[in-house]
Amino acid sequence: MKKLSIHPMFVRCFSLSLLLLVGCSSTGQANSSVEFHNQEIDYQPGFTTFVSGFWNMLTSDTPDLTPDSPLPMTAMTKQQLLNEDADVIYRLGHSTMLIKLGNQWILTDPMFSERASPVQWMGPKRFHPTPITIDQLPSIDTVVISHNHFDHLDEASIVKLTPKVKHFLVPKQIAPLLEEWGVPAAKVQALNWWETTQIGTTKFVFTPAQHYSGRGLVDRNETLWGGWLMLSATHKVYYSGDTGYYDVFKKIGEQYGPIDVALLEDGQYNHGWADIHMFPEQVVQASLDLKSQVMLPVHNSTFQLADHAWYEPLEKVVEIGQQKGVEVVTPEFGERYQIGEPWAEEKWWSQ
């Protein structure tokens, strides 16, 4: 029997469990007449899901759950971005990616707050600052949101971004929440799975994912979840959002492949969540299914939300990618990656 010991994850897990249990005023008004479902599984997390996750964390003896020193980071400036003339990707943290396609700037799941939580005095705390502040960002053409969990839909970030964002693309039923936060309705467009929209020269496709939604325990699956395919005249980029592995990747690859860059969820996995999060070997297979030229793993190295070493998702996905012939690029936070250009792999997480 494991020895019961308190470690740094205790406070995070206890706080997160409380937040999920009680919810808060920022969850938005429940709409019990709407409920969404996965295509292949009926995943319905309940209170026991969070209790078991909390207990596993409490009794965990996994080493290196969080970094013991500051993570390497490349500082970014507004002038640098204003001068950018190529198709590029900058990783800002967790699943927040700043992407330039053609002449458009796109931001995925903006999360700039200190904690992935409805309040900033408790909840999972980020390992590192963002390499650029919201104030220093250029004008953003499009923000895409994958789902409404706190580590992907952050109220403070949305509120501060709104004046410099032209369009918000969100899953069905999330628009009212953004409007509640002060985003003008004319800026928000909500899509269902496989629906498309055109913004400038870029076509956006909202793709299915195998996950769930909710910002408390009383609003389960009342908003949709999914990924985003971004198709420009120059490159194709796919962002998975949070998802388990299933045949949607083959469908996307067959219809839209090859994909130039696949931004795939790789981190915060747990055997109890195997239906809704991918393990590294599944991430590599998803990249193969998508016929992606390059895979860039996200959803790791910013928050500790699962019982694995903070660097494990990157270490494993690079190793398996090499075995399977998948090119994996892992820029440090703030580092410039130019789509289509060679990448010299450096394991920044092990330095």
Give the model confidence (pLDDT) of 10-54 as tens digits: 444 444 454 444 344 344 444 556 899 999 988 776 655 555 555
At residue 1, the pLDDT reads 39
Domain that holds residue 320: 79-332
The Cα–Cα gap between 167 and 339 comes to: 23
**Domain-located, residue 45:** no
Query: Is the peptide bond prior to 72 cis by the omega test (within 30 degrees of 0)?
Result: no
Which CATH number characterizes residue 96's domain? 3.60.15.10
Per residue in 289-319, pLDDT (tens digit) is: 999 999 999 999 999 999 999 999 999 999 9
CA end-to-end span of the chain:
35
DSSP symbol at 273: G
**Domain-located, residue 21:** no
Dump strand ranges (E) for 21-123.
88-93, 96-101, 104-108
> Which pLDDT band holds residue 216 (cuts at 50, 70, 90)?
confident
**Domain-located, residue 50:** no
Count of CA atoms in the C-beta half-sphere (13 A) of 112: 18
**Domain-located, residue 280:** yes
Q: How many CB atoms lie within 10 A of CB 5?
A: 10
Q: How many CB atoms lie within 10 A of CB 260?
A: 20
**Domain-located, residue 15:** no
At residue 306, the pLDDT reads 92
The Cα–Cα gap between 149 and 195 comes to: 22
The Cα–Cα gap between 346 and 62 comes to: 25
Q: Is 166 exposed, middle or buried (0-12, 13-18, 19+ CB in 10 A)?
A: middle
**Domain-located, residue 291:** yes
The residues, any chain, with a CB within 8 Å of residue 312's CB and separated by 6 or more, are none
**Domain-located, residue 123:** yes
pLDDT at 89 over 50: yes
3-state helix, strand, coil in the chain (%, to 5): 25, 20, 55
pLDDT at 119 over 80: yes
The Cα-based distances of 190 to 72, 162, 194, 324 in angstroms read 37, 16, 12, 37
117 within 8 A of 248, measured Cβ to Cβ: no
At residue 7, the pLDDT reads 43
Q: Which two tokens stand for residue 221?
A: 């699956």
Mean pLDDT of the chain: 90
The Cα–Cα gap between 105 and 96 comes to: 13
**Domain-located, residue 28:** no
Number of domains in the chain: 1
> Which of 18-22, 167-171, 195-199, 273-277 shows the lowest per-residue confidence on average (mean pLDDT)?
18-22
